[in-house]
């Protein structure tokens, strides 16, 4: 509790002789305020600046939080820079009574932003980035004596504008295997960026060439052709550039202040589904004829009604057929001879049975 045990008369009498012969400190008024840096949080109190208001005077404008007294004060100033909050810490030397006021302009022209008195030593002050502020350190002589002290201003680093950070699935995975079977394979992506800028995911092949930017944070992997894919995250300011199908990851950038790729990627392996589950009515096999002019399907039992599609490994349809009946073998003619390359066969049973996937060559 702050209790007055000196009158203003006795306190001023004690200092009258000293003040008459001593020079006031250089920062005795706000026009000559000492400039203080805004340190990193971990650098206070090690970067404390020493002060002394023993020989200070007082001009105008009583402290907002301690009116009606007799004062001696010294002044400091700082620029908030990129920060919206600063912390001010006092270290006590010989000073016996103290108060601290932060203003947004010099002397009475300023509005008080923060103010506190003995015994408060730590202040958290909301500020506007890029503004200059003034700090008055005062002693109310009605309560006790001025003296030496230390002052240090610090702030935490603000969130970065762009931060790629890391990406995973919502299941905390960075490696996923899927098999396109006609049923949605939804993958939800998450990132751990603290950046202030927008964030997007980009699907790339295993050589980090863009396939397409992903809209939102969920996509259906069942639409992809078999292969290995990388999903990168990008934090960017302004407009994203270079995330265009067919262009390498090195082309990605932005027209704003920054961009940052994720530190990792989610690997997605899209494999060819082979065979059908044991609950399906029949086991199947597929092959191309030696002339590569027809697709042969063979079943251990009746195949039934189905739709059959043949894809190349880029996911493009080469041919489609509707088959009906219960034959155990089908020969499906191709519109033209197939190139000597792998293909994917997908057969969807019209009765809703388990789809069949296989690779043929």
Mean pLDDT taken over the chain: 87
Query: What are the pLDDT digits (tens) for 238-285?
Result: 999 999 999 999 999 999 999 999 999 999 988 876 543 333 445 677
Q: Is the peptide bond before 230 cis (omega within 30 degrees of 0)?
A: no
Neighbouring residues of 122: CB distance < 8 A, sequence distance ≥ 6 = 87, 88, 89, 90
Per the CB < 8 A criterion, the answer to whether 152 and 39 are in contact is: yes
Classify each residue of 55-70 as buried b or exposed e, where b means 16 or more C-beta atoms within 10 Å of its C-beta. Answer: bbebeebbbbebeebb
Q: Which residue has the higher pLDDT, 7 or 223?
A: 223
Q: Which residue has the higher pLDDT, 185 or 28?
A: 28
Q: Which residue has the higher pLDDT, 78 or 110?
A: 78
Residues 99 and 67: their CA atoms lie apart, in Å, by: 11
Reported as a pLDDT band with limits 50, 70 and 90, residue 31 is: very high
Residues 319 and 309: their CA atoms lie apart, in Å, by: 6
Q: Which residue has the higher pLDDT, 56 or 324?
A: 56
Residue 62 has pLDDT above 50, yes or no: yes
Q: How far is CA 256 from CA 149, 198, 238, in A?
A: 45, 12, 4
Report the pLDDT value the prediction gives residue 3, as an integer from 0 to 100.
Answer: 66
E strands in 45-131: 49-52, 71-79, 85-92, 99-103, 112-117, 122-126
Report the pLDDT value the prediction gives residue 281, as an integer from 0 to 100.
Answer: 44
Domain ranges, ordered by start, for the chain: 8-155, 167-270, 284-360
Query: What are the pLDDT digits (tens) for 318-356?
Result: 888 888 877 778 888 987 877 777 777 888 877 766 667
Residue 220 has pLDDT above 80, yes or no: yes
Q: Is 5 helix (H, G, I), strand (E, B) or coil?
A: coil
Residue 70 has pLDDT above 80, yes or no: yes
Neighbouring residues of 68: CB distance < 8 A, sequence distance ≥ 6 = 62
Report the pLDDT value the prediction gives residue 324, as an integer from 0 to 100.
Answer: 84
Residue appearing with tokens 């005077």: 57
Whether 8-155 shares its CATH topology with 284-360 is answered no
Residues 294 and 61: their CA atoms lie apart, in Å, by: 97
Residues 266 and 178: their CA atoms lie apart, in Å, by: 13
Report the pLDDT value the prediction gives residue 9, as an integer from 0 to 100.
Answer: 47
Residue 299: which of 361, 353, 225 has the closest Cα? 353
Residues 126 and 112: their CA atoms lie apart, in Å, by: 11
Reported as a pLDDT band with limits 50, 70 and 90, residue 76 is: very high
Over residues 19-45, mean pLDDT = 90
Residue 29 has pLDDT above 70, yes or no: yes
Q: What is the DSSP string of 234-253?
A: EEESS-EES--TT-BGGG-E
Reported as a pLDDT band with limits 50, 70 and 90, residue 14 is: low
Per the CB < 8 A criterion, the answer to whether 239 and 252 are in contact is: no
CATH, domain 8-155, list 2.70.180.20, 2.60.120.380, 2.60.40.10, 3.40.190.10 = 2.60.120.380
Over residues 117-139, mean pLDDT = 97
Write the CATH number of the domain with boundaries 284-360: 2.60.40.3080
Q: Which residue has the higher pLDDT, 317 or 51?
A: 51
Q: If you compute the radius of gyration of the chain from its CA atoms, what whole number of angstroms results?
A: 37
Angle at 92 (CA atoms; ends 89, 93), nearest 5 degrees: 145
């Amino acid at each position: 509790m702050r209790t007055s045990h000196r009158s203003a008369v006795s306190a001023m009498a004690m200092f009258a002789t000293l003040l008459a012969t001593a020079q006031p400190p250089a920062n005795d008024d706000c026009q000559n305020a000492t400039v203080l840096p805004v340190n990193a949080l971990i650098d206070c109190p090690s970067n404390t600046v020493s002060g002394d208001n023993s020989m200070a005077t007082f001009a105008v404008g009583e402290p907002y939080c301690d009116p009606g007294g007799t004062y001696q004060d010294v002044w400091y100033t700082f620029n908030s820079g990129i920060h919206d909050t600063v912390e001010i810490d006092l270290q006590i030397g010989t000073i016996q009574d103290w108060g601290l006021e932060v203003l947004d302009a010099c002397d009475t022209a300023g509005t008080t932003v923060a103010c506190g008195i003995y015994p408060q030593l730590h202040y958290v002050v909301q500020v506007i980035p890029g503004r200059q502020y003034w700090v008055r350190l005062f002693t109310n002589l009605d309560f006790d004596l001025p003296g030496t002290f230390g002052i240090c201003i610090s702030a935490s680093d603000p969130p970065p504008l762009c931060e790629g950070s890391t990406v995973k699935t919502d299941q905390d995975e960075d490696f996923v295997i899927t098999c396109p079977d006609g049923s949605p394979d939804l993958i939800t992506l998450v990132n751990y960026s603290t950046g202030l800028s927008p964030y997007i995911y980009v699907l790339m092949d295993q050589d980090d060439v863009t396939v397409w930017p992903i809209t939102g944070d969920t996509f259906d992997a069942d639409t992809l052709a078999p292969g290995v894919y990388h999903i990168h995250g990008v934090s960017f300011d302004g407009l994203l550039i270079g995330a265009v199908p067919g262009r390498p990851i090195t082309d990605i950038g932005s027209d704003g202040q920054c961009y940052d790729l994720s530190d990792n990627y989610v690997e997605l392996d899209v494999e060819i589904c082979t065979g059908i589950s044991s609950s399906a009515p029949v086991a199947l096999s597929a092959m191309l004829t030696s002339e590569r002019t027809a697709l042969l399907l063979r079943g251990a039992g009746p195949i039934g009604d189905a739709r059959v599609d043949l894809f190349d490994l880029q996911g493009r349809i080469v041919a489609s057929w509707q088959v009906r009946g219960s034959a155990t073998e089908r020969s499906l003619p191709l519109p033209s001879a197939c190139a000597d390359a792998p293909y994917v066969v997908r057969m969807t049973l019209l009765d809703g049975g388990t789809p069949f996937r296989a690779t043929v060559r």
